Structure 1
Amino acid sequence: MTPLGLHEWFARSAREHPGRPALKVGAETFTYRELDALAGTLAAGILALHGGTAPARVGLTTTPQPLTYAGYLAALRLGAAVVPLNSAFPPARSAAIAHAAALDLTLSDDLLTRLRTAPPPHDAPPPAPVTPEDTAYLLFTSGSTGVPKGVPVTHRSIDAFLRYVIERYELGPGCRMAQNIGLAFDPSVFELFAAWGSGATLVVPPRQELAKPARFVSREGITHWFSVPSVITMAHLTGGLAPGSMPTLRWSLFGGEQLTTQQARAWRAAAPQSVLENLYGPTEVTIVCTQYRLPEHIADWPVTANGTLPIGPVYPHLDCLVLDEAGNPAETGELCVRGVQRFNGYLDPADNNGRFLTPTGHPTDPSGHHIPGDKDWYRTGDLVQTLDGGTLVHLGRIDQQVKIMGQRVEIGETEAVLRDQEGIEQAAVVALHGPDGQTRLEAAYTGTPVPPAQLRQALSTRLPRYMVPHRFTHRTTLPLNINGKLDRRALTTELTTELTTGLTTEPTAGLTAEPADR
């Protein structure tokens, strides 16, 4: 079966269900015919703006408004790769991403408005042909070297994913998918094109309702939900998950963070008719690559050593290995994945080094910029335990990567920016769990004391909010292990003790219930 281009998934629904609702944002609703026409108008304007030739890579604002979604489709219609630019990111970070991506054009809010209001000089162009190996979208993740890493995803990879999930989650006309994840993060592609690829309706929740999802779900008749588990915690704490408050939900999917039994119990009580699944997947393996469906009866839910629910086996069309530190197959170790959903390597080939294994499970040559072959394994960096039947339990990371509100954070990137500040010598960042169950970054540094507000402001010009530490603690030295290296475990214990005993008085910045850039 020939893979479909990402735009063709939408175009097919537009042909088959032109009068059905495709998108609802606030009070505005667009049918498939209307959304297709708007995307065509924008595509014609982009061509005129670009001298009559289609751009290869198009940056896209991520403001959750109708024109943004139409702009996404317009870029795909022209055969361009979409590069979402998080509207909440500091300008310097967005500029660095735009430069690394070598954008031909950026669709800002102002430009999209002009393209919509100015009559295009030509009719809407027909959809441009694409090959399965062409890039559909390009996302940037946090990088351990201090520079975001570009992850190109091909039409072949996203096609395989959509074919699987649309059938598994029984999506089709009449279904209503919530659009919870910001467009700069890959789960949003799941929401957009699992809905549009099946003739369902994509419904965008108002930002202020994200902390109380039951109200939005009930009012809009949402049938399919996908979010980070943190949303459950926040909604439960604010009284937004009353038992039976989401009767329309048929499918509830969670990913991006470990899902605890307590979180799942709270959601099940609020949506008793919903099938509940725990999902896992790095951006490099196209959104999601494992699944675990919770049994209908809570008494049958598994009990794991760390209190989290399994992430399940890998998708049937993918392969996985679990390897110990020596590179041998093991029950507990690093998860490695390969198959049609695995990406073909980072935008900068230097970032591939150390991230792949050969078909036999051995490390690739670290001396050069490795170009992965079809049978190479991607090293996820995630530590898992294998249960009966290939079911996996996520135990954490083997490196310094953490998740903040479901967003991937390489601690090394935050540390690199902190070390760049004048007067700072050593810097270390750790992740701690706050009293509300949320994960927050805490920083310790040596050198000249700097007012915390000054450090926070300086880092905010280069890093998104969720990557900026909530506290900055000055120290004369940082704890070292017997090898003279930073002892992160000791530092984590010290900072946790200071927080719980009230020894640290520097005020924290609030973390709001804000999935991604929304």
Structure 2
Amino acid sequence: MNPQHDIQSLQDYLRKTLLDPVRPGQLAISGSDGELTWSELSVAVTGWMERYHASAPHPDAPVVLYGHQQTEFAVAIYSCLLYGITYIPVDCIYPTERLKEICALAHAPYYYDVLQRTFVHTGVAAKPLQESHLAYMMFTSGSTGQPKGVQIGRESVWNFIQWVGESFSLPDAPVLMNHAVFSFDLSLIPLLANLAKNGHIVLNSKEAIATESWLESLHLKKVSAWISTPSFAYQKLLSPQFNSEFLPDLAVFVFIGEVLNKALVKQLRRRFPNAKIMNSYGPTEATVATTVVEITDEMMASESDLLPIGTMMPHSFMDITPEGELIIWGKNVMRGYLGLPEENATKLLTRAGTPWRGYRTGDLGFSKDYLYCMGRNDSQIKLNGYRIEISEIEARLLNMDGIHEAVVLPLMKPGGSVLRIAAFCVSHLSTEEIKQGLAKVVPSYMVPSQILLKDVLPLNPNGKIDRKLLDAQARVS
């Protein structure tokens, strides 16, 4: 590992890609506020930097970017990457109190209002970052009740750009569909793949996605690469237009952020028989993704309920503890959580005499030809004295014919014990049929006492299943 070499390589690559584009007249970005060709993007990133120097000259402090799916948001990100400014993306669908909290935690003196295209003083005193050459910080939910900042170095971004361009089966000059808000690191797959493949990223606001004409817009833009959580794709299956006849250019699906199950793959193969389906895995702390694999017929025909998450990216490897916890090692691992030394001491690992960084994921898995992930090490519960793995109940439900989506939640009492187990299913089966089917493959004490049928499972702003909302619904049902 040579971080300085990687940092310089990223700088050289971004200068060439953004300032001397190979396809200057081709569209580079489409968003809610318009479109830019690659030559127009080149001018825009330079202009953004000039305004930054004029309005917010604190090169050692991070800058917060605040907006939602605008072309200008992508311009700001690309400019920060090009000119070495650590950025923190915050989507405006989150309350302003969260914006203020993140600015304070990061000691960010300015945030950039993407919609107004102005720098706003936060009233927070600038404080230089202890880590140098950070590309970005992504704030995630924290167990303490405050968001925690994941610090990702520029060397990690360079490693990811090379990998996503080579290993995700993306077509040349792809048209990349992005639905994820920029404060969710899934959005970095299309953003960085766009740089790797000199393509066109199509940003989609939550308002646009909610319209009946949204798939029509993807058709007109000739989207060729779909990047999302499995849950988001499930919702689109409700539309009869979500097929290869209406979207003939769609050549590859890339999934990350949740477990990809066989039921979704089967439906996508019926609708898009020639498209490749890629499954990827990785926590925010390991730069978006760290494994990838194309789902094959052999994998679908296996007796296992699980699909593999793939093989590791270059310059990284996976350790699996005797307890089954996945530990990621490599230059893709974060530089640590901002200002949380105790959590860093728990989650980050080092190897004596080497520059390798390790991260304890809390995910459970195993290796058999490919890597597999099978849930969290904290998903185990006790109910009436019985030890139960929630992830196993989910897997069993998803393996039942007639169930398209399923989420299982332990409903907790205020004291921390389990009240009951609830299952939410997208299915044409009745609740009794589901219980009877499940009772055939698991002990009776693992059959959820509460099963709720849904047309679709609700998603949170990051495109993942909204488990908090489901928990609330189960408690009033």
2:179 is aligned with 1:184: no
What TM-score results when the alignment is normalised by the length of structure 2?
0.74
Distance 1:439 1:8, change over 3 A: farther
Quick check: 1:72–1:82 contact (8 Å CA) kept in 2?
yes
1:82–1:136 CA contact under 8 A, matched in 2:
yes
Residue number in structure 2 paired with 1:106: 111
| 2:89 corresponds to | 84
Q: How much is the aligned-residue C-alpha RMSD, in angstroms? A: 3.5
Matches within 5 A, 1:396-475: 396-399=375-378, 437=405, 439=407
Which AA in structure 1 matches 2:405?
G
Residues in 2 aligned to 1:352 and 1:335: alpha-carbon distance in whole angstroms: 17
Residue 393 of structure 1 aligns with an amino acid whose one-letter code is Y
Q: 1:375 to 1:191 in 2, by over 3 A?
A: same
Question: Which residue identity is paired with 1:487?
Answer: S
Whole-angstrom distance in 2 between the partners of 1:201 and 1:145: 39
Match of 1:16 among 5, 13, 21: 21
Question: Which one-letter code corresponds to 1:70 in the other structure?
Answer: V
AA aligned opposite 1:3:
D
Match of 2:254 in 1: 253
2:345 aligned to 353, 363, 367, which one? Answer: 353
Task: Provide the residue aligned with 1:449 in structure 2.
Answer: none
Q: 2:66 aligns with which of 61, 67, 70?
A: 61
Question: Which residue type is aligned with residue 24 of structure 1?
Answer: S
| Other structure's SS at 1:237 match | coil
Q: CA offsets per residue over residues 185-229 of structure 1, 9 Å max, x none?
A: 112122112102331111123535547875444322111221000
CA apart distance, 1:353:
2.7
Structure 1 unpaired stretches of 5+: 116-131, 326-332, 361-371, 402-429, 447-477, 479-485, 503-508
Q: Is the contact made by 2:93 and 2:461 (CA closer than 8 Å) also made in structure 1?
A: no
Q: 1:214 touches 1:240 (CA, 8 Å); kept in 2?
A: yes
Does 2:157 align with 1:228?
no
Distance 1:163 1:201 in 2: 17
- 1:342–1:62: structure 2 CA closer, same or farther, 3 Å change rule? same
Q: 1:30 Cα deviation (Å)? A: 0.8
Report what 1:394 is aligned to. 373
Q: Which has the higher strand share?
A: 2
The answer on 1:379 being equivalent to 2:360 is yes
Q: Deviations over 1:28-71 (max 9, x none)?
A: 32112212212222221221113x55363100013111222222
Q: Is the 8 A contact 2:178 2:201 kept in 1?
A: yes
Matched, 1:161 2:160: yes
* CA distance 1:358–1:47, change in 2 (3 Å): closer
Deviations 1:61-99 (A, max 9, x none): 131112222222333344210101121112222222111
* Alignment partners' CA distance in 2, 1:74 and 1:214: 30
CA contact (8 A) 1:21 1:201 kept: yes
* Number of equivalent positions: 404
SS in structure 1 opposite 2:359? strand
Question: Which letter does structure 1 place at the counterpart of 2:37?
Answer: T
Distance 1:264 1:501, change over 3 A: closer
What are the residue-to-residue correspondences of 1:70-219 with 2, within 5 Å? Answer: 70-109=75-114, 111-112=116-117, 134-169=133-168, 174-208=173-207, 210=209, 214-219=215-220
Structure 1 distance, partners of 2:268, 2:330, is 33
Q: Distance in 2 between matches of 1:86 and 1:304?
A: 41
Corresponding residue for residue 457 of structure 1: none
Partner residue in 2 for 1:491: 420
Amino acid at match of 2:16: R
Unaligned runs of 5+ in 2: 121-130, 381-389, 398-402, 425-446, 465-477
The residue that corresponds to 2:306 in the other structure is: 308
Compared CA separation, residues 197 and 355, structure 1 to 2 (3 A): same
List aligned pairs for 1:22-33, cutoff 5 A.
Answer: 22-26=28-32, 28-33=34-39
Rate the CA distance shift 1:114–1:4 in 2: closer, same or farther, 3 A: closer
Q: Which residue, 298, 314, 317 being the options, matches 2:315?
A: 317
What is the one-letter code of the residue matched to 1:79?
A: G
Counterparts of 2:17 and 2:344, CA distance in 1:
37
**Deviation (angstroms), 1:19:** 2.5
What is the CA distance between 1:145 and its match in structure 2? 2.1
Secondary structure of 1:83 counterpart: strand
Report the alpha carbon displacement of residue 148 of structure 1 after superposing the two structures with TM. Answer: 1.6
**Separation (CA, whole Å) in 2 of partners of 1:75 and 1:397:** 34
Distance change (3 Å), C-alpha of 1:438 and 1:208: farther
